[in-house]
Chain A
Amino acid sequence: MVNPTRTSRPFNSVALPALAAGALVVVAIGPIVLDRFAVNVLTRSMIYAVLAITVDILWGYAGILTFGQAAFFGIGAYATAIVATHVGDSPAMMALGFVLAVATPMLLGLLVGWLSFYHNSTPLYASVISLVFPIVVTQLVFSGGVWTGSSSGLVGYTTLPLELGGFFRLAGFCLIVIAVAAWIFVKSDAGKLLIAIRDNETRCSYLGLNTSRFKILLTACLAGVAGLAGFLYAHASGVVAPENTGFVFGTELVVWTALGGRGTILGPILGAIGIDYLSANLSGELPFLYQLIVGALFVVMIIVVPGGLAAVVTKIAGIGTNPTAIASVTVKGVASRPSAGWVEARDALIKIENLGKSYGSHHVLEGIDLSVRAGELVSLVGPNGAGKTTLMRCVSDGTLEATGVRQVCGRSIVRLTPSDIVALGVGRKFQVASVFDSLTVADCLRMARMAIDPPSVFAASRTLALPLSSERIVKLTGLDQLLDSSVSLLSHGQKQSLELAMVVALEPRLILLDEPTAGLTKPERTMIGGILKSLTEELGVAAILVEHDLDFVREISSRIVVLHQGKLVLDGSVEEVVNSALVKSVYSGGGHA
């Protein structure tokens, strides 16, 4: 658990350079003090550690369990060896080998990413693709004839003119550079997006972020890094073999990452180097027993300590894994972005005609007509199962199959993904507060601005630019005092407020709110009600609110729409609906409408 009272230390600015410098010294003197065998094995281990970092960024940070990094590594190694064997070994050809070793995996990474990630793709499917890919690559290598050397691989090609110690230093240097780059990346604003995707991908796409595209790019970049590792390996070892591309090697990478500690950069490095080096030393004497122990340890670790050795160490040492290494964040209100045709009160922001949605033979919604203009606060009421949440889903996710017309700002949203619809100006707040539990309050709010202000890949910002309306919610609810706190420490009401602030930070023209006050205390409900009223009345935002608490509805709505058994039975002013006999029978009698 994160300790809320702990003061943040500027770990980034002091410890990281010191650690990197120390590691550089160790790498430089390593070949002098170690014997040949150790230098040889550790060179390989450090290259594997580079791969473990890529697996960790994908799996530990972004939540994508992958077995495919081995294939990208193998492709890089084979590209290097094939160029050296069949094309030429002049320096220019070496350079060509290097370019191909990085570029080929990147291109294939785009392909694999495109296959794996699309709207509503499942994490399991991405893992399946990452499993199939290395198998295909291995089989292609086997059937490559003289080009790939088939099952015996390629050997005897010209390598870089470096001694054993030189390769050790090269591998160590690359490892340190990549580790530092990875460290900076995961701590940057863009890196937080990885964690946000892992925590709650749905929320990301409802913040207007195209997560599929981000994951495809990430896959391609890390495929390039794996290809670079393959290049190093092909030169350092002087031999490439089909096993280097296989999914079994891919699973080993995952095992090392898991044992070292997913979601940390150092853990997987130490896991890869430690296990590979130990196994090289012990496999002579206890070949099977050693693997047995690693396997058993892995199983126990997954079940009992999913965080790996890194989690055990930090727990024992009492170091909190600090989600932000920033001293403190300040909020800065910014003017709303200019918007063409911002308030045209006569036009409907959202228009629904004859909307129907059914699951099999069960009709959830039938013949719904509804349009909402700027500045209106429309409450959607009705008993359980009336179709209120389904209606919200239909207007915020165009990929959901339904019949009839659905338009936002005059554009049909059919087949548009939630992130496309957010770009049209629709923000959605979910029933259960949908935020990012592993991030801080400030980072959550920053995610909401990411589609508008592109994030930095290098830096972690210390200021937080929010539109004034969102800033007001943050201040009113006291969240401005909690910007550095982890979201997991917030109360239920604070999370609801945070989500509302995030949605408002999108500067939507239309806000969809699904029971924003469920489980809140009376003062909290009053405050949320006030915020909604000022958003609609002062800023001209339109809001559709699903709500059970009819007292609350009566206080804040400008219009009430009643749904019953999938049909719109009433649409009128607060007075009309409250005094309607129909509504009374819907609520107290439970009879057919």
Chain B
Amino acid sequence: MRDGSNGWKAGDDLLKLSAVSSGYGAVTIVKDISLTIKRGEIFAVMGKNGMGKTTLLKTILGFIELKAGDVTLEGASLRGVAPAKLIASGVAYAPQDQPLFQDLSIRDNIRLALRSDREFKNASERAFSYFPFLRDRLGQKAGTLSGGEQKMLTLARSLMHQPKMLLVDEVSEGLQPSVVDRIAAALKNERDANGVTILMVEQNLDFALRVADRWAILKLGAIDDQGGMESNTRERVLEHLKI
């Protein structure tokens, strides 16, 4: 169990990116990024569309091959580690594009993230604790849920394993303020109560600054600015994001 008994403590380096570059084919999208995420923190990567935020997450997960640099998790290099293996080892991912199987039921969407159906009861209870409406609609097709409900299901599914690390891609996109509040609460509680480390990619500045401990701005695939939470943070970040 990841409860601290095997010797870790909050504040250790959990995920470390050293001079990472990656992209598709000849195109380099993520350029020379170095970043350290500490255990138990919430880190927000912000930036406008097309600046390489999603590519960065996919590179960490191993979906996109590294062109240069290295990614380590708990000190071990992730180079050559299959995404399935990494995810099974306790790194959860809530993707932005098509995060759900639209034609499958909520139950099946949850089952697909489990290794065995025996886990279903415990894991789904965990998943439902933040979003109880899911419990009564297990048989409903995911495609018939509203946009906000789909986001909540996606997040619930990624949390149900009690991961050591969670990567979320634009979880607040297109949501009503009330739903954004619930998601913010869920993420904070996961960190506070269970020590889950969270790396989030966001365009929604207000949401990101409400949840995060530290942040970085991505511009054209490279880190343009980064920092912690200070009094002028909002203005500083807004300067980068405004049209």
Contact = CB atoms under 8 A, between A and B. Distances in A.
A/B: CB atoms within 8 Å of each other: yes
A420 B102 CA distance: 36
Interface stretch (A104-112, A207-215, A581-589): A581-589
B242 interface: yes
A519 interface: yes
Contacts of B206: 588-589
B173 A383 contact: yes
Interface string B153-181: 00000000000000000101111110000
Interface stretch (B4-12, B24-32, B37-45, B62-70): B24-32
B165 to A, nearest CB: 24
B50 interface: yes
Contacts of A518: 27, 50
A590 interface: yes
A146 interface: no
B80 to A, nearest CB: 23
Q: Give the secondary structure class of A's interface.
A: loop
B176 A550 contact: no
A591 interface: yes
A584 B243 contact: yes
A548 interface: yes
A330 interface: no
Interface string A514-530: 01001100000000000
Interface string B204-215: 111100000000
B50 A588 contact: no
Interface residues of B, number: 30
A549 interface: yes
A384 B48 CA distance: 10
A592 B50 contact: no
Interface string A574-585: 000110000110
A385 B23 CA distance: 21
Given A384-B96, A578-B243, A587 B48 contact: yes
Contacts of A590: 170, 172-175, 203-204, 207
A491 interface: yes
B26 A587 contact: no
Given A588-B204, A588-B205, A383 B243 contact: no
Contact of A592 (B23, B176, B242): B176
Interface in A276-302: none
A519 B28 contact: yes
B50 A587 contact: no
Given A383-B49, A548-B50, A549-B50, A588 B238 contact: yes
B26 A584 contact: no
Contacts of B175: 590
Interface string B174-194: 111100000000000000000
A565 interface: yes
B114 interface: no
A587 B175 CA distance: 13
Given A491-B26, A588-B204, A590-B204, A548 B241 contact: no
A492 interface: yes
Contacts of B50: 515, 518, 548-549
A550 B203 CA distance: 14
A587 to B, nearest CB: 6
B96 A588 contact: no
> Which residue among B24, B96, B172, B203 has the maximum number of chain A CB atoms within 10 Å of its CB?
B203
A361 B102 CA distance: 11
A583 B242 CA distance: 10
Contact of B204 (A384, A519, A583, A589): A589
A492 B25 CA distance: 9
Contacts of A565: 174
Interface string A489-501: 0011001000000
B239 to A, nearest CB: 12
A383 B170 CA distance: 11
Nearest to B52: A519
B174 A550 contact: no
A549 B50 CA distance: 8
Nearest to A522: B220
Interface of B: 23-29, 48-51, 96-97, 143, 170, 172-177, 203-207, 238, 241-243
Interface of A: 361, 383-385, 432, 491-492, 495, 515, 518-519, 548-550, 554, 565, 577-578, 583-584, 587-592
Among all A-B residue pairs, the 3 with the closest Cβ atoms: A548-B50, A590-B204, A548-B49
